[in-house]
């Protein structure tokens, strides 16, 4: 059986459980295994550039010891994606880049709900690398903790309000800018009235397509 390894680069097992639940609809009999692992060396969440850089080498070591047909970095700041790609000859997908690819495939302009203000600089760096910075309608940070996001209801209204504001700013689709938001996707989409993209799902789908095409 082919294997896709989804790496949560923070140390939150609750966040990893949410990522696993998000990609669960993509698991099917005879399909690739979608295994979600937690980076034990990671911070509780990736709030800053320092957090971003701290997980790069541990992720490279993890990829080198864990065989898989494709890898997904399951943080919406895509930490260390270039370094991880240099550590394996298998495809490596960052979930933010994957979500942006999904967004521009279906709409002209998109909006992003970020975890914190400092997330925006990392997202802009990725968008510049993709040549898509001008397709961003707006980005709104929630400035909450990962624990707040993972609560079933604590951040939901803030997420909905951010989605509405992005729609008013001209976004035609919305990207959830943190894996801790995954369990809010359906509710936010229903209230905002726009397609809402969960990045881990987007990356897992691209990884599955890459694995399937390599087998042809």
Residues 82 and 14 in one domain: yes
How many Å apart are CA 53 and CA 51, to the nearest integer? 6
Question: 60 — alpha (psi -120 to 50), left (phi > 0) or beta?
Answer: alpha
pTM of the model: 0.94
Dihedral of CA 43/49/54/55: which sign? positive
pLDDT (0 to 100) of residue 116: 94
Q: Are residues 194 and 104 in the same domain?
A: yes
Domain co-membership, 118 together with 177: yes
Domain co-membership, 119 together with 148: yes
Per-residue pLDDT for the chain (216 aa), expressed as one digit of tens each? 899 999 999 999 999 999 999 999 999 998 899 999 999 999 999 999 999 999 999 999 999 999 999 999 999 999 999 999 999 999 999 999 999 999 999 999 999 999 999 999 999 999 999 999 999 999 999 999 999 999 989 999 999 999 999 999 999 999 999 999 999 999 999 999 999 999 999 999 999 999 988 766
User: Is 188 found in the same domain as 119?
Assistant: yes
Q: Which segments of 75-198 does DSSP mark as H helices, in order?
A: 81-86, 95-106, 119-130, 146-150, 156-168, 185-192
Please check whether residues 10 and 63 belong to one and the same domain. yes
Q: Angle formed by the axes of helices 95-106 and 119-130, to 10°?
A: 60
Q: Which domain holds residue 18?
A: 3-94+201-214
- Beta strands per DSSP E along the chain: 3-8, 33-38, 70-73, 92-94, 110-114, 136-141, 173-177, 196-197
- Is residue 118 domain-shared with residue 182, that is, in the same domain? yes
CATH of the domain at 58: 3.40.50.1860
Residue 75 and residue 40 share a domain: yes
Q: Identify whether residues 90 and 102 lie together within a single domain.
A: no
Regarding whether 195 and 100 lie in a shared domain, the answer is yes
Residues 76 and 104 in one domain: no
For the chain, the domain total comes to: 2
**Model pLDDT, residue 1:** 80
Burial class (CB in 10 A: 0-12, 13-18, 19+), 29: exposed
34 and 100 assigned to the same domain: no
Joined together, the tokens standing for residue 144 give: 């909450």
Rounded CA separation 85/68 (Å): 13
């Amino acid at each position: 059986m082919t294997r896709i390894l989804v790496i949560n680069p923070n140390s939150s097992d609750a966040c990893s459980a949410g990522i696993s639940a998000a990609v669960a609809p993509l698991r099917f009999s005879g399909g690739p295994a979608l295994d979600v692992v937690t980076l034990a060396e990671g911070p509780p969440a990736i709030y800053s550039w320092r957090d971003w850089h701290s997980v790069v080498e541990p992720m490279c070591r993890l990829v080198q010891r864990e065989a898989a047909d494709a890898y997904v970095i399951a943080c919406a700041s895509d930490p260390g994606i270039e370094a991880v790609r240099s550590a394996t000859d298998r495809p490596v997908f960052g979930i933010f880049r994957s979500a942006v690819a999904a967004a521009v495939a279906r709409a002209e302009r998109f909006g992003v709900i970020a975890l914190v203000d400092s997330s925006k600089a990392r997202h802009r760096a990725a968008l510049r690398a993709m040549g898509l910075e001008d397709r961003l309608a707006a980005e709104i940070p929630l400035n909450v903790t990962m624990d707040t996001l993972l609560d079933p209801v604590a951040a939901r209204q803030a997420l909905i309000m951010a989605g509405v504001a992005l729609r008013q700013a001209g976004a035609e689709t919305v990207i959830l800018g943190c894996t801790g938001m995954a369990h809010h996707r359906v509710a936010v989409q229903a209230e905002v009235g726009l397609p809402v993209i969960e990045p881990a799902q987007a990356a897992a789908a691209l990884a599955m397509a890459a694995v399937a095409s390599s087998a042809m």
